[in-house]
Amino acid sequence: MDTFLQHRLAVSRKLPDGLILLAGGSPVLRNGDVCHPFRQGSDFLYLSGVEEPDCWVLIDPKRRRHTLFIPKVDSTHRVWLGHVPSPDEARKAYGFQRALQTHRLASVLRRARRGYRVLYADKAAQRRMAGIDAGACRGLTARPAALRDALDCLRAVKDAGELALLRRASSVTGLAFRAAMASVRPGMFEHEVQAVFEAECRRRGLKRLAFESIVASGANSAVLHYHGNDQRIRKGSLVLIDAGAEHLGYAADITRTFPVDGRFTARQRDVYSIVLDAQKAVIDAARPGVLSADLHVRSMTMIAEGLKGLGLLKGNVSGLVEGGAVRLFYPHGIGHMLGLDVHDPSGGRKRRLPNPTKVPVRFVAKLEPGFVVTVEPGIYFIPALLDDPANRRKFRGSVHFARAEAFRGFGGIRIEDDVVVARSGPPLDLTDVPKEIADVELLMAIRRPSGSSRSPA
- The rounded Cα 271 to chain-centroid distance in angstroms is 26
Mean pLDDT of 85-106: 93
Active site residues: 33, 225, 242, 253, 332, 336, 343, 376, 380, 414, 416
**Rounded to an integer, what distance in angstroms lies between the CA atom of residue 350 and that of residue 443?**
45
**Rounded to an integer, what distance in angstroms lies between the CA atom of residue 262 and that of residue 279?**
22
Of 68-72, 337-341, 350-354, which range is least confident?
A: 350-354
Distances (CA, A) of 372 to 21, 45, 192, 427: 27, 18, 31, 10
State the first-to-last Cα distance of the chain, in angstroms, to the nearest integer.
51
Residue 448 has pLDDT above 60, yes or no: no
In a 13 Å sphere around the CA of 162, the CA atoms on its Cβ side amount to 26
* Residue 38: per-residue pLDDT: 94
Residue 452 has pLDDT above 60, yes or no: no
**Rounded to an integer, what distance in angstroms lies between the CA atom of residue 291 and that of residue 120?**
31
Taking alpha carbons only, the member of 383, 320, 372 closest to residue 346 is 372
Mean pLDDT of 427-437: 98
Residue 267 has pLDDT above 90, yes or no: yes
Mean residue pLDDT of the chain comes to 94
The 3-state DSSP class for residue 206 equals coil
Please classify residue 436 by burial: count the beta carbons closer than 10 Å to its beta carbon, then call 0-12 exposed, 13-18 middle and 19+ buried: exposed
Mean pLDDT of 395-408: 96
The full set of domains in the chain, from first to last, is 2-155 (3.40.350.10), 160-445 (3.90.230.10)
What percent of the chain shows pLDDT beyond 90? 89
* Residue 206: per-residue pLDDT: 97
